[in-house]
Amino acid sequence: MNNADPQTQLESVIALSEVGTSEAVDLLSRLLDDEERPYFFRSAVAWSLGRVGTEVATRRLVRAFCDIDVGIREQALEAIVSLGGDPVPELLNGIRGADMDIAAGCAEVLRRRQRGLADEVISRLAEDLRKRAPSPWTVWVLGHLPRERVVNAIAGLQESAPQLHYALSLLWSFLESWISRRWEVYPEPDAWGMEHGGNA
């Protein structure tokens, strides 16, 4: 990996992913940890770990959700979303953890892989809601799943945890509404608002 030629470096990283041994995963993990390396290289390493798809590789990609480089976080997200294996155990551990960046990344992977989520996984997420201080990201994931897949798992929350039930209902109402298709996190001020004295 000390070869100065970027193309050779990339080919070496891809070759490691094809080998897929635990030693290869360890080396790829160390390379991903090296923040002195350029983005293109670390991004290729994250992609390669996704191709390996082992539990250890998935665990390293989950840790990348708190990387200093947001681009690496996004590459790790895409790598886990496209994994052929089962990353759910690592994602459930991550969403329950104390690091909010890791929990957010795990929640987004679960949301994007929702069609493949087993009922047992949804039940495990719903169990987390019954804890004293459930992760807000667990609420967020469940609120993004189709209401009919979650309603039985959260039966009883209306009485035992009315705030959580309300939060889920609010998310479902939004996602099922017509405005969710056009919703933007930070909308640009429109011409109408500017012409009529609206605040930018």
Residue that finishes a domain, picked among 80, 97, 127:
80
For residues 58 and 188, the model is more confident at: 58
Residue 197, pLDDT above cutoff 70: no
> b/e string for 81-112 if b means 16 or more Cβ within 10 A?
eebeeebbebbbebbbeeeeebbbbbbbbbbe
**Tokens for 140?**
């967020």
Domain residues for the domain of 34 are 1-80
Q: How many domains does the chain fold into? A: 2
How far, in Å, CA of 170 to CA of 178, rounded? 14
Residue 183, pLDDT above cutoff 90: no
Is residue 63 domain-shared with residue 125, that is, in the same domain?
no
- CATH at 9: 1.25.10.10
Which tens digit of pLDDT belongs to each residue from 170-180?
999 999 999 98
Residue 3, pLDDT above cutoff 80: no
Q: What is the pTM of this model?
A: 0.84
Is residue 29 domain-shared with residue 44, that is, in the same domain?
yes
The percentage of residues in the chain with a pLDDT greater than 90, rounded to a whole number, is 54
Is residue 57 domain-shared with residue 35, that is, in the same domain?
yes
How far, in Å, CA of 102 to CA of 105, rounded? 5
Which tens digit of pLDDT belongs to each residue from 53-91?
889 999 999 999 999 999 999 999 999 998 877 889 999
